[in-house]
Protein backbone atom coordinates (compact mmCIF):
# COMPACT_ATOMS: atom_id res chain seq x y z
CA UNK A 1 0.00 0.00 0.00
CA UNK A 2 1.27 3.51 -0.81
CA UNK A 3 2.48 5.37 2.24
CA UNK A 4 1.97 9.06 2.94
CA UNK A 5 5.17 11.03 3.57
CA UNK A 6 5.21 14.48 5.16
CA UNK A 7 8.01 16.88 6.01
CA UNK A 8 8.89 20.57 6.00
CA UNK A 9 11.70 23.09 6.09
CA UNK A 10 11.61 26.55 7.65
CA UNK A 11 11.97 29.50 5.28
CA UNK A 12 14.78 31.04 7.28
CA UNK A 13 17.46 31.46 4.61
CA UNK A 14 20.86 29.78 4.41
CA UNK A 15 19.51 26.28 3.70
CA UNK A 16 22.67 24.26 4.24
CA UNK A 17 24.10 20.85 3.45
CA UNK A 18 22.86 19.58 6.85
CA UNK A 19 19.28 20.37 5.80
CA UNK A 20 20.04 18.84 2.40
CA UNK A 21 21.62 15.59 3.57
CA UNK A 22 19.41 15.12 6.64
CA UNK A 23 16.11 16.04 4.98
CA UNK A 24 15.86 17.30 1.38
CA UNK A 25 17.78 14.44 -0.21
CA UNK A 26 15.47 11.96 1.48
CA UNK A 27 12.44 13.97 0.26
CA UNK A 28 13.38 13.44 -3.38
CA UNK A 29 14.18 9.74 -2.97
CA UNK A 30 10.89 9.00 -1.21
CA UNK A 31 8.85 10.42 -4.12
CA UNK A 32 9.33 7.30 -6.22
CA UNK A 33 7.27 4.98 -4.08
CA UNK A 34 5.13 7.16 -1.85
CA UNK A 35 2.58 9.93 -1.81
CA UNK A 36 4.61 12.91 -0.59
CA UNK A 37 3.51 16.18 0.97
CA UNK A 38 6.27 18.78 1.39
CA UNK A 39 5.63 22.01 3.20
CA UNK A 40 7.44 25.31 3.65
CA UNK A 41 6.77 25.83 7.34
CA UNK A 42 6.46 29.60 7.59
CA UNK A 43 4.41 29.47 10.83
CA UNK A 44 7.43 27.84 12.47
CA UNK A 45 9.69 30.58 11.15
CA UNK A 46 7.92 33.29 13.20
CA UNK A 47 8.68 31.56 16.50
CA UNK A 48 11.61 33.97 16.45
CA UNK A 49 11.05 37.50 15.03
CA UNK A 50 11.50 37.86 11.25
CA UNK A 51 11.52 40.80 8.85
CA UNK A 52 8.21 40.44 6.88
CA UNK A 53 9.71 41.26 3.47
CA UNK A 54 12.62 38.92 4.00
CA UNK A 55 10.30 36.14 5.20
CA UNK A 56 8.14 36.41 2.07
CA UNK A 57 11.24 36.16 -0.14
CA UNK A 58 12.61 33.24 1.88
CA UNK A 59 9.35 31.32 1.40
CA UNK A 60 9.80 31.49 -2.38
CA UNK A 61 13.53 30.73 -2.04
CA UNK A 62 12.82 27.48 -0.21
CA UNK A 63 10.04 26.55 -2.65
CA UNK A 64 12.49 27.04 -5.55
CA UNK A 65 15.15 25.06 -3.70
CA UNK A 66 12.74 22.18 -3.13
CA UNK A 67 12.31 21.90 -6.87
CA UNK A 68 15.97 22.53 -7.63
CA UNK A 69 16.99 19.51 -5.53
CA UNK A 70 14.49 17.34 -7.40
CA UNK A 71 11.10 17.56 -5.73
CA UNK A 72 8.62 17.22 -8.56
CA UNK A 73 5.36 19.13 -7.99
CA UNK A 74 3.61 16.89 -10.51
CA UNK A 75 4.19 13.95 -8.14
CA UNK A 76 4.45 15.61 -4.72
CA UNK A 77 2.32 18.25 -3.04
CA UNK A 78 4.42 21.38 -2.42
CA UNK A 79 2.82 24.23 -0.46
CA UNK A 80 3.20 26.93 2.17
CA UNK A 81 2.00 26.05 5.68
CA UNK A 82 0.08 29.27 6.41
CA UNK A 83 -1.94 28.81 3.19
CA UNK A 84 -3.66 25.83 4.87
CA UNK A 85 -5.59 26.93 8.01
CA UNK A 86 -5.85 23.37 9.38
CA UNK A 87 -2.26 23.48 10.72
CA UNK A 88 -3.02 26.21 13.27
CA UNK A 89 -6.47 24.80 14.04
CA UNK A 90 -5.21 21.29 14.78
CA UNK A 91 -2.25 22.70 16.75
CA UNK A 92 -4.69 24.35 19.18
CA UNK A 93 -6.63 21.13 19.68
CA UNK A 94 -3.41 19.15 20.27
CA UNK A 95 -2.18 21.78 22.69
CA UNK A 96 -5.04 20.73 24.95
CA UNK A 97 -3.72 17.14 25.03
CA UNK A 98 0.01 17.90 25.42
CA UNK A 99 1.64 18.35 28.83
CA UNK A 100 3.73 21.37 29.82
CA UNK A 101 6.16 18.94 31.48
CA UNK A 102 6.93 17.03 28.29
CA UNK A 103 7.35 20.27 26.31
CA UNK A 104 9.75 21.64 28.94
CA UNK A 105 11.98 18.64 28.30
CA UNK A 106 12.48 19.42 24.58
CA UNK A 107 16.21 20.07 24.13
CA UNK A 108 15.68 22.44 21.19
CA UNK A 109 13.50 24.68 23.40
CA UNK A 110 16.07 24.55 26.20
CA UNK A 111 18.91 25.42 23.77
CA UNK A 112 17.06 28.29 22.10
CA UNK A 113 15.40 29.84 25.18
CA UNK A 114 18.34 29.31 27.56
CA UNK A 115 16.04 29.78 30.57
CA UNK A 116 14.95 33.22 29.34
CA UNK A 117 11.46 33.91 30.74
CA UNK A 118 10.61 36.25 27.89
CA UNK A 119 11.24 33.53 25.28
CA UNK A 120 8.18 33.56 22.97
CA UNK A 121 5.37 31.13 23.77
CA UNK A 122 5.59 30.00 20.12
CA UNK A 123 9.11 28.70 20.70
CA UNK A 124 7.76 26.55 23.55
CA UNK A 125 4.70 25.34 21.58
CA UNK A 126 6.62 24.74 18.30
CA UNK A 127 6.71 20.93 18.69
CA UNK A 128 2.89 20.86 18.97
CA UNK A 129 2.54 22.76 15.70
CA UNK A 130 4.98 20.22 14.21
CA UNK A 131 2.79 17.39 15.54
CA UNK A 132 -0.24 19.05 13.91
CA UNK A 133 1.64 19.40 10.58
CA UNK A 134 2.33 15.67 10.57
CA UNK A 135 -1.00 14.36 11.89
CA UNK A 136 -3.07 16.61 9.62
CA UNK A 137 -2.01 14.55 6.59
CA UNK A 138 -2.37 11.08 8.16
CA UNK A 139 1.37 10.76 7.55
CA UNK A 140 3.06 7.37 7.85
CA UNK A 141 6.67 8.50 7.33
CA UNK A 142 8.43 11.73 8.36
CA UNK A 143 11.92 12.14 6.85
CA UNK A 144 13.93 14.49 9.10
CA UNK A 145 17.40 14.97 10.55
CA UNK A 146 18.39 13.43 13.89
CA UNK A 147 17.81 16.73 15.71
CA UNK A 148 14.06 16.22 15.25
CA UNK A 149 13.94 12.76 16.88
CA UNK A 150 12.57 14.08 20.15
CA UNK A 151 9.81 16.05 18.38
CA UNK A 152 8.74 12.97 16.40
CA UNK A 153 8.53 10.96 19.64
CA UNK A 154 6.37 13.71 21.15
CA UNK A 155 4.09 13.66 18.08
CA UNK A 156 3.62 9.91 18.50
CA UNK A 157 2.94 10.26 22.25
CA UNK A 158 0.27 12.93 21.71
CA UNK A 159 -1.36 10.98 18.85
CA UNK A 160 -1.49 7.77 20.91
CA UNK A 161 -2.92 9.71 23.87
CA UNK A 162 -5.70 11.20 21.70
CA UNK A 163 -6.39 7.83 20.04
CA UNK A 164 -6.73 6.15 23.44
CA UNK A 165 -9.40 8.67 24.36
CA UNK A 166 -11.33 9.03 21.10
CA UNK A 167 -10.65 5.90 19.06
CA UNK A 168 -7.66 4.28 17.39
CA UNK A 169 -8.43 5.65 13.97
CA UNK A 170 -8.44 9.32 15.02
CA UNK A 171 -4.79 9.72 14.03
CA UNK A 172 -2.34 7.65 12.02
CA UNK A 173 0.74 7.06 14.19
CA UNK A 174 3.73 8.33 12.17
CA UNK A 175 7.31 7.10 12.10
CA UNK A 176 10.45 9.22 11.75
CA UNK A 177 12.79 8.29 8.88
CA UNK A 178 16.41 9.05 9.73
CA UNK A 179 19.44 8.38 7.58
CA UNK A 180 22.35 6.34 8.89
CA UNK A 181 24.89 8.76 7.42
CA UNK A 182 24.32 12.51 7.12
CA UNK A 183 21.48 12.58 9.63
CA UNK A 184 23.46 15.02 11.73
CA UNK A 185 25.97 17.21 9.93
CA UNK A 186 28.11 19.19 12.35
CA UNK A 187 29.32 22.81 12.18
CA UNK A 188 32.60 23.27 10.32
CA UNK A 189 33.99 25.67 12.94
CA UNK A 190 32.84 23.56 15.90
CA UNK A 191 32.24 19.89 15.10
CA UNK A 192 30.59 19.33 18.48
CA UNK A 193 27.63 21.57 17.50
CA UNK A 194 25.18 20.81 14.68
CA UNK A 195 25.44 22.78 11.46
CA UNK A 196 22.73 25.44 11.72
CA UNK A 197 21.21 28.24 9.64
CA UNK A 198 21.23 30.70 12.50
CA UNK A 199 24.88 30.27 13.64
CA UNK A 200 26.66 33.63 13.47
CA UNK A 201 29.74 32.45 11.60
CA UNK A 202 28.83 31.91 7.89
CA UNK A 203 31.89 29.65 7.52
CA UNK A 204 30.35 27.25 10.07
CA UNK A 205 28.09 25.94 7.30
CA UNK A 206 27.94 25.33 3.57
CA UNK A 207 24.76 26.85 2.18
CA UNK A 208 23.31 25.25 -0.93
CA UNK A 209 23.55 28.58 -2.76
CA UNK A 210 27.13 29.45 -1.72
CA UNK A 211 29.52 30.06 -4.61
CA UNK A 212 32.45 27.70 -5.18
CA UNK A 213 35.03 30.04 -3.61
CA UNK A 214 33.00 30.35 -0.38
CA UNK A 215 32.54 26.58 -0.19
CA UNK A 216 36.30 26.02 -0.66
CA UNK A 217 37.12 28.61 2.01
CA UNK A 218 34.70 27.07 4.55
CA UNK A 219 36.09 23.57 4.00
CA UNK A 220 39.77 24.59 3.99
CA UNK A 221 39.26 26.49 7.27
CA UNK A 222 37.20 23.76 8.94
CA UNK A 223 38.34 22.72 12.41
CA UNK A 224 40.06 19.32 12.60
CA UNK A 225 42.75 18.09 15.03
CA UNK A 226 46.49 17.79 15.22
CA UNK A 227 47.16 14.05 14.89
CA UNK A 228 47.04 14.08 11.08
CA UNK A 229 45.26 10.75 10.57
CA UNK A 230 42.15 10.50 8.39
CA UNK A 231 39.98 8.13 10.38
CA UNK A 232 36.29 7.94 11.28
CA UNK A 233 36.03 8.41 15.03
CA UNK A 234 33.24 10.85 15.99
CA UNK A 235 34.25 10.87 19.69
CA UNK A 236 37.98 11.30 19.32
CA UNK A 237 38.10 13.10 15.95
CA UNK A 238 34.79 14.94 15.48
CA UNK A 239 36.08 17.35 12.82
CA UNK A 240 37.59 14.77 10.45
CA UNK A 241 34.67 12.40 11.04
CA UNK A 242 32.23 15.14 10.05
CA UNK A 243 34.22 15.85 6.87
CA UNK A 244 34.30 12.12 6.06
CA UNK A 245 30.51 11.97 6.51
CA UNK A 246 30.06 14.91 4.12
CA UNK A 247 32.53 13.36 1.66
CA UNK A 248 30.79 10.03 1.67
CA UNK A 249 27.31 11.60 1.31
CA UNK A 250 28.31 13.63 -1.73
CA UNK A 251 30.68 11.14 -3.40
CA UNK A 252 28.50 8.07 -2.99
CA UNK A 253 31.40 6.16 -1.37
CA UNK A 254 30.77 4.56 2.02
CA UNK A 255 32.54 6.02 5.06
CA UNK A 256 34.89 3.02 5.11
CA UNK A 257 35.73 3.46 1.41
CA UNK A 258 36.38 7.18 1.90
CA UNK A 259 38.59 6.42 4.90
CA UNK A 260 40.57 3.82 2.90
CA UNK A 261 40.98 6.20 -0.03
CA UNK A 262 42.62 8.92 2.07
CA UNK A 263 44.58 6.68 4.44
CA UNK A 264 48.07 8.13 4.95
CA UNK A 265 47.28 11.40 3.15
CA UNK A 266 47.36 14.89 4.67
CA UNK A 267 44.32 16.87 5.77
CA UNK A 268 45.03 19.60 3.16
CA UNK A 269 44.77 17.20 0.19
CA UNK A 270 41.64 15.59 1.61
CA UNK A 271 39.96 18.96 2.18
CA UNK A 272 40.80 20.08 -1.36
CA UNK A 273 39.17 17.01 -2.89
CA UNK A 274 36.21 17.29 -0.54
CA UNK A 275 35.66 20.87 -1.73
CA UNK A 276 35.66 19.61 -5.31
CA UNK A 277 33.14 16.85 -4.59
CA UNK A 278 30.83 19.30 -2.81
CA UNK A 279 31.02 22.05 -5.46
CA UNK A 280 30.43 19.49 -8.23
CA UNK A 281 27.27 18.34 -6.45
CA UNK A 282 25.93 21.81 -5.62
CA UNK A 283 26.59 23.60 -8.94
CA UNK A 284 23.65 21.99 -10.81
CA UNK A 285 21.33 22.66 -7.85
CA UNK A 286 22.36 26.34 -7.85
CA UNK A 287 21.76 26.62 -11.60
CA UNK A 288 18.34 24.98 -11.44
CA UNK A 289 17.43 27.17 -8.47
CA UNK A 290 18.22 30.42 -10.34
CA UNK A 291 15.98 29.41 -13.22
CA UNK A 292 13.05 28.19 -11.08
CA UNK A 293 13.19 31.19 -8.73
CA UNK A 294 12.73 33.54 -11.72
CA UNK A 295 9.91 31.54 -13.23
CA UNK A 296 6.29 32.61 -12.91
CA UNK A 297 5.27 28.97 -12.56
CA UNK A 298 6.57 28.95 -8.96
CA UNK A 299 3.51 30.76 -7.54
CA UNK A 300 1.17 28.54 -9.55
CA UNK A 301 2.82 25.43 -8.09
CA UNK A 302 2.32 26.74 -4.54
CA UNK A 303 -1.32 27.70 -5.15
CA UNK A 304 -2.11 24.31 -6.63
CA UNK A 305 -0.20 22.60 -3.79
CA UNK A 306 -2.18 24.53 -1.16
CA UNK A 307 -5.47 23.45 -2.75
CA UNK A 308 -4.42 19.79 -2.79
CA UNK A 309 -3.10 19.97 0.79
CA UNK A 310 -6.23 21.76 1.99
CA UNK A 311 -8.49 19.03 0.63
CA UNK A 312 -6.71 16.44 2.82
CA UNK A 313 -6.45 18.79 5.82
CA UNK A 314 -10.16 19.63 5.79
CA UNK A 315 -11.03 15.94 5.76
CA UNK A 316 -8.83 15.28 8.80
CA UNK A 317 -10.20 18.31 10.66
CA UNK A 318 -13.80 17.18 10.08
CA UNK A 319 -12.90 13.77 11.57
CA UNK A 320 -11.02 15.23 14.55
CA UNK A 321 -13.75 17.77 15.37
CA UNK A 322 -16.39 15.07 15.19
CA UNK A 323 -14.42 12.83 17.60
CA UNK A 324 -13.68 15.60 20.08
CA UNK A 325 -17.17 17.05 19.87
CA UNK A 326 -16.36 20.46 18.36
CA UNK A 327 -18.53 22.59 16.07
CA UNK A 328 -22.20 22.52 15.13
Residues labelled catalytic: 112, 194, 197
Long-range contacts formed by 13-16: CB under 8 A, 24+ apart: 13/54, 13/58, 13/61, 13/197, 14/197, 14/198, 14/202, 14/205, 14/207, 15/61, 15/62, 15/65, 15/197, 15/207, 15/208, 15/209, 16/185, 16/195, 16/196, 16/197, 16/205, 16/206, 16/207, 16/208
Closest approach, Cβ 6 to ligand AQP, in A, equals 11
**Residues shown for the chain:** 328
* Nearest distance, CB of residue 274 and ligand AQP, angstroms: 17
Supply the minimum distance, in Å, between the C-beta of residue 12 and ligand AQP: 5
Shortest distance, position 2 Cβ to ligand AQP, whole Å = 22
Nearer to ligand AQP, 136 or 195 (CB): 195
Residue number with CB closer to ligand AQP (178 or 317) = 178
Q: Is 45 in contact with 14 (CB distance < 8 Å)?
A: no
Query: What's the 3-state SS for 62-103?
Result: HHHHHHHCCCCCCCCEEEEHHHCCHHHHHHHHHHCCCCHHHH
Residue 7 C-beta: closest distance to ligand AQP, Å:
6
204/279 with CB nearer ligand AQP: 204
d(CA 243, CA 249): 10
Round to the nearest angstrom and report the end-to-end CA distance of the chain: 35
Nearer to ligand AQP by Cβ, of 125 and 185: the residue is 185
Residues that bind ligand AQP (CB under 6 A): 9-10, 12, 18-19, 21-23, 144-145, 147-148, 183-185, 194-198
Q: Indicate the residue among 45 and 93 with the shorter CB distance to ligand AQP.
A: 45
CA distance 179 to 273: 24
Q: Is 142 exposed, middle or buried (0-12, 13-18, 19+ CB in 10 A)?
A: buried
Residue nearest to ligand AQP (CB): 22
User: Nearer Cβ to ligand AQP, position 23 or 132?
Assistant: 23
Amino acid sequence: MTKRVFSGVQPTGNIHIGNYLGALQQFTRLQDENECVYCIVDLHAITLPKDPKELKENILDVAALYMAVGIDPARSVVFVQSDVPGHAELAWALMCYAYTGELSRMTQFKDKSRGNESAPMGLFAYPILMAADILLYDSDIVPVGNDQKQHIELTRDIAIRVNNKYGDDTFVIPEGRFLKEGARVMALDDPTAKMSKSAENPLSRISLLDDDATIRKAIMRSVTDSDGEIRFDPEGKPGISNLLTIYSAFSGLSQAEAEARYKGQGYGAFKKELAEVVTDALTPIRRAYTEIRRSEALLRVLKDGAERANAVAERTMRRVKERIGLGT
